[in-house]
Amino acid sequence: MRNSRRTRLILGILLAAALVLITVGHRGGESSVAGPLGQIASSVFGTAEQASTKVTAPVSRFFSMLTGAPGAQERIDGLRKENARLRSRLAATELDKDRSKELDRMLGLSGLGRYRVVPAQVIARRHTAGLEDNVEIDVGSRDGVRRDMTVLNGDGLVGRVVRTGPSTSTVILLTDPGSAAGARLEGGNELGVVNGLGGSGKYGDLIRLRLLDSTTPLKKGRRIVSFGSQNGTPYVPGVPIGEIERVVVTPGELTRTAYARPYANFTALDVVGVVVRAPDRDPRDSVLPDQPAKSQPGKKDKKDQAKNHKDKSKDREKRQRDARDASGAVQEPDQAAQRDLGGPAPRRADTPGQAEERD
């Protein structure tokens, strides 16, 4: 304890003496006798200052960091907001690209079929009384949309307009149990009616096809298109509907029943088109997508088949672009005159020996 006091006393005396010598040397100039002593004092003060700086510098930086913390937090918050804005813009850009591709596909399909369409976007999906499966689109009477107009997208038939407002319309989807559309088998004139199942039962994600002729042969893989209605309302002809996945026989009925998977993805509807004018001529099967090339062992290898399929896809895209460019302006349709085909024909007596066909 005594040594510590003595040390502090000696250090204080030395610092006081050094301060006096520096002051005298500063006033007396370099020629002063106290000059060398002043240099010694400055050296002592410099060493003491360095030691004190090493001790106090971390403390000073700590307090400086505390005083600058609010500004740093604001900068961090600003950077976070900017990152969120950039991510939002990036997501919107990707969404716009996807919608642009869907729009091109929809216009390509409508161009092939010579359908005059008004592009639209799905803005809501609803389940209301009397309309189990329907969507709201962002076009209405001001855009030339009327009740009982066909709605399609880049894959095929979507549904028909059931209500219109000035700027929005309600579309009943093909999957709604209350929806019915005339249908025709690819490559022939066999007619039937397609109905939605409303997502219920083991065939809920499919649509039901009932052919009016019970003798018509059916098998998995056959494709169906819309038969069309008079004046193209509510359905225009030739729009792809789907592909048969299951075939059944109902003993005692005049109709054949099958279940088809629709081309349109009803769980991810976005860009659609409202057909405001039917084509002058039935496009028949020309709007159906190209089927993949079948394998032919011994004639073509897999590489040739892939090349052939790719060439066909390019040809189809070119035809779509040409048709889209030649489709022209939107025109008003004729007034609705007749609805699509009705339900199945009356029942007749059971026929023994009929059984369910396998896939």
Q: In order of start, what are the domains of the chain with their CATH numbers?
A: 1-113 (no CATH), 116-289+331-359 (2.40.10.340)
Burial 1-38 (b: 16+ CB within 10 A, else e): eeeeeeeeeeeeeeeeebeebbebbeeeeeeeebbebb
Nearest alpha-carbon partner for 164 in 120, 129, 206: 120
Examine the pLDDT at 28 and tell me if it is beyond 70. Answer: no
Name which residue leads in pLDDT, 9 or 294: 9
**What pLDDT, in 10s, does the model give residues 314-332?**
666 666 666 666 554 444 4
Top-ranked range on mean pLDDT: pick from 23-27, 59-63, 301-305 = 59-63
pLDDT band at 275 (very low <50, low <70, confident <90, very high): very high
pLDDT above 80 (res 171): yes
Name the pLDDT band for 66 (thresholds 50, 70, 90). Answer: low
Candidate from 49-63, 179-193, 211-225 with smallest mean pLDDT: 49-63
Average pLDDT over residues 280-299: 73
Least confident piece of the model among 80-89, 257-266, 327-336: 327-336
CB 183 within 8 A of CB 228: no
| Residue 261 CB burial class (10 angstroms; 0-12, 13-18, ≥19) | middle
Cis peptide before 234 (omega within 30 of 0): yes
User: Which pLDDT value is given to residue 13?
Assistant: 76
User: Which one, of 200, 196, 188, lies nearest residue 160 by Cα?
Assistant: 196
- Which pTM value belongs to this model? 0.60
